[in-house]
Amino acid sequence: MLPIGIAKFKDRFRAETKDPAKRTFMTNILYLTSSPNGSQSYSNRVAERLLDELRGNHPDASIKHRDLARDLLPHIDEDFVHATRDPAGPRTQRQRDLLARSDALVDELLAADFVVIATGMINFSIPSTLKAWIDQVARAGRTFSYSESAPRGLATGKQVALIVARGGIYSGDMAPMDFQVPYLQKVLAFMGMTDLHLFEVEGTAYGVETAEKAVEAAVGKIARRCAEAAAA
Ligand SMILES: Cc1cc2nc3c(=O)[nH]c(=O)nc-3n(C[C@H](O)[C@H](O)[C@H](O)COP(=O)(O)O)c2cc1C
């Protein structure tokens, strides 16, 4: 795994900005939050610290923040399936609108060099708001394709930082109950995003002291990764 983001960005930035007038590359960060806990969210808090680091190292970066818990995406339905999978394409205005929204979300993802996903564990998995985003962007022909041998991810060339908070602790005996991190790792890899950096905030339900220690550990890990990358 590469050091987090910065080194890769820096190399590309340098390569393309020798003459600032001809600058063509700017880092694009897609920042997704999905906690239903708003300002009390640990995953949001840790993600903000990562964003601070990224902003500090890339003042020119464009950051698109989508709070999936506030601006809800709809669940997919029959019209969505027709709009996105029917070889004849969308047939009604509603289907055209659904396709346009999904296309816009895919475009936003494909344009990103770095994706930050902050999420809490809900009922052993991810919030349905984040699942709704995945259902919008996991599109055959856009973010993955089927070949004769195996499916191929098309959303490649990105780094992803996953910031996951959970009330319990899943690094031990509870690991088989974790359908949050393994699911995200698998579905993102399926779409071509294999360069993942994981920051866990575990045991947030075990009291403030445990939660704060977990936040501190995750923030420390972020600072170390970003410092390594900046020095690379
Ligand atoms: C509806 C709901 C369901 C939850 N389910 C689980 C769970 O299955 N396992 C767990 O460890 N924590 C569970 N939690 C606790 C959250 O994972 C924990 O509060 C975490 O810190 C949430 O992330 P956030 O702080 O970013 O909001 C649940 C919390 C809520 C509100």
Question: Both tokens of residue 130?
Answer: 């984040």
pLDDT at position 4 is 57
Q: In which element (H, E) is residue 197 found?
A: strand 195-202
Pairwise CA distance, residues 206 & 214, whole Å: 11
The topology under which CATH files domain 6-231 is Rossmann fold (3.40.50)
- 161 alpha carbon – ligand 1 mean position (Å): 19
H or E element that contains 26: none
DSSP β-ladder status, 195-202 and 144-146:
unpaired
Given a cut of 90, whether residue 1 has pLDDT beyond it is: no
The per-residue pLDDT for 167 is 98
Distance of CA 175 to the CA centre of its chain: 22
Phi and psi angles of residue 140, each rounded to the nearest 5 degrees, phi first: -60, 135
Give per-residue pLDDT as tens, 35-53.
999 999 999 999 999 999 9
Nearest CA to ligand 1 atom 27: 41
Query: Given pLDDT bands bounded at 50, 70 and 90, which one contains residue 11?
Result: very low
User: Is pLDDT above 70 for 20?
Assistant: no
Q: DSSP state, 59?
A: T
Which residue of 34, 123, 200, 210 sits with most ligand 1 atoms within 8 Å of its CB, as the best mutation to test the pocket? 123
Give the 3-state secondary structure of residue 162.
strand
228 band by pLDDT with thresholds 50, 70 and 90: confident
pLDDT digits (tens, 9 = 90+) for 147-179: 878 899 999 999 999 999 999 999 899 999 999
Q: Strands, E, within 34-158: which ranges?
A: 62-67, 114-120, 144-146, 151-153
Residue ranges lining ligand 1, Cβ < 6 Å: 35, 37, 41-44, 120-124, 165-168, 204-205
The rounded Å distance from CA 221 to ligand 1 centre is 22
Ligand 1 mean position to 35 CA, how many Å?
A: 9
- How far apart CA 124 and CA 179 sit, in angstroms, is 6
What are 193-226's pLDDT values in tens digits? 999 999 999 999 999 999 999 999 999 999 998 8
74 and 132 Cβ atoms separated by less than 8 Å: yes
Taking only the tens place, the pLDDT of each residue in 115-153 is: 999 999 999 999 999 999 999 999 999 999 988 788 999
Residue closest by Cα to atom 1 of ligand 1: 122
pLDDT value at residue 5: 52
Distance 195 CA to ligand 1 centre (A): 26
Of 167, 160, 186, nearest to 121 (Cα)?
A: 167
d(C-alpha 133, C-alpha 108), whole Å: 12
What integer pLDDT is reported at residue 218 of this predicted model? 97
Identify the band that residue 111 occupies on the pLDDT scale cut at 50, 70 and 90.
very high
**Which of 33, 46, 166 gets mutated to test ligand 1 (max ligand atoms within 8 A of its CB)?**
166
Domain limits, the chain: 6-231
**CA 60 – ligand 1 centroid, Å:** 35
